[in-house]
């Protein structure tokens, strides 16, 4: 029987999506709204000063309320919504791919336009996991509601009381606890996958690198958990859309290595 051990080092490279349009207009995001992200067009877009070389990803973990768009230079859906596929414009896009978790083909794009450029460290064989654990905070019956329609004391509680929960929704503390549960169980789940592909880590290092795609609030929650600051710390961390953060786990301990680093997604890109 082959013994399965936890990788010596586990790296999480977290790529944040854009915020739903409603958030910019003062609305709590609709439950069906998706955060959008465009992958970097080349391997340099994933480079961080803390890494010796651009990473090779052994897995992609995609939050269920996020959509990953193809890096097509002539039509950036984040800056030119009219050029995005109809399903993306309506907010009902399939989450990352229409072809199932083993496919990395284009999403309603021409057949000759690859979803993933061959220059970046993701292949058609890179496993993809869709997870509800990394969804943004659940606002219950308040999804889609304008903030200015809430009573002043209710709005203050929503924004400043970590234990306040909207009807049928989560408090900030419950949201962070969900992120903590996911982060705590991740090393065991990755160890259970067995032997890592040779391309997923440098020879003999035992390191494993995962690409996490989620909304900024989720990455802030993960950072708070790692720093041990509680949900009150979230307001003190600035993690913009379309940026990269790096968390590492070594010898059983997590560290924040980079937070909210700028992402190179090509001219005119934005979160």
Q: Would you state the torsion angle of the CA atoms of residues 44, 75, 132, 197, taken in this order, to the nearest 10 degrees? A: -40
Q: Which of 180 and 199 is assigned the larger pLDDT?
A: 180
pLDDT band per the 50, 70, 90 thresholds, residue 125: low
Show the domains of the chain with their CATH numbers: 9-262 (3.40.50.1240)
pLDDT digits (tens, 9 = 90+) for 48-66: 767 777 778 888 999 999 9
Residues 6+ apart with CB under 8 A from 116: 39, 70, 71, 104, 122, 123, 124
Within 10 Å of residue 13's Cβ, how many Cβ atoms? 22
pLDDT in tens, 161-197: 999 999 999 999 999 999 999 999 998 888 776 544 4
Which one has a higher pLDDT value, 160 or 2? 160
> Is residue 17 over pLDDT 60?
yes
Mean pLDDT score across all residues of the chain: 75
What is the pLDDT at residue 73? 47
Rounded to whole angstroms, what are the CA distances from 85 to 69, 79, 103? 10, 13, 18
pLDDT level of residue 140 (50, 70, 90 thresholds): very high
All residues at 6 or more sequence positions from 123 whose CB lies less than 8 Å from its CB, including other chains: 104, 116, 199
Tell me the pLDDT band of 123, cut-offs 50, 70 and 90: low
Q: How does pLDDT run across 99-112, given as a tens digit for each residue?
A: 333 333 223 322 33
Residue that wins the pLDDT comparison between 32 and 79: 32
Please report, to the nearest 10 degrees, the dihedral formed by the alpha carbons of residues 73, 199, 10, 136 taken in order. 30
Query: Which single residue is written with the structure tokens 């013994």?
Result: 3
The pTM of this model reads 0.75
d(CA 221, CA 162): 12
Q: Concatenated DSSP letters for 30-93?
A: PTT--EEEE--SSGGGG--TTSSS----SEEEEETTEEEEP--TT--TTT-GGGS-HHHHTT--
- Do 10 and 208 meet the contact criterion of CB atoms below 8 Å apart? yes
User: How confident is the model at residue 55, as a pLDDT?
Assistant: 77
Spatial distance between the Cα atoms of 211 and 202, rounded to a whole number of angstroms: 17
Range among 40-44, 106-110, 230-234 with highest mean pLDDT value: 230-234
* 134 against 47, higher pLDDT: 134
């Amino acid at each position: 029987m082959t013994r399965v051990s936890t990788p010596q080092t586990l790296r999480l490279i977290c790529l944040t999506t854009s915020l739903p349009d409603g958030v910019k207009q003062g609305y709590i995001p609709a439950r069906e709204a998706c955060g959008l992200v465009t992958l970097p067009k080349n391997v340099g877009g994933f480079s961080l000063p803390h890494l010796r070389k651009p990473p090779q990803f052994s897995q992609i973990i995609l939050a269920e309320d996020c959509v990953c768009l193809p890096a097509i230079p002539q039509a950036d859906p984040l800056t030119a919504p009219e050029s995005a596929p109809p399903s993306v414009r309506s907010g009902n896009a399939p989450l990352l791919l229409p072809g199932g978790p083993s496919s990395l083909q284009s999403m309603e794009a021409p057949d000759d336009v690859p979803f993933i450029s061959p220059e970046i460290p993701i292949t058609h064989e890179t496993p993809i996991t869709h997870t509800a654990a990394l969804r943004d905070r659940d606002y219950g019956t308040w999804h889609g509601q304008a903030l200015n329609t809430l009573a002043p004391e209710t709005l203050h509680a929503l924004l400043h009381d970590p234990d306040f929960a909207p009807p049928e929704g989560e408090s900030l503390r419950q949201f962070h606890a969900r992120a903590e549960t996911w982060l705590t169980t991740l090393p065991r789940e990755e160890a259970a996958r067995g032997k890592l592909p040779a391309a997923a880590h440098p020879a003999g290092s035992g390191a494993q690198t995962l690409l996490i795609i989620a909304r900024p609030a989720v990455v802030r929650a993960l950072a708070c958990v790692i720093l041990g600051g509680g949900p009150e710390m979230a307001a003190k961390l600035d993690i913009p859309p379309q940026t990269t953060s790096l968390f590492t786990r070594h010898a059983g301990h997590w560290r924040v290595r980079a937070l909210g680093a700028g992402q190179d997604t090509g001219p005119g890109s934005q979160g």
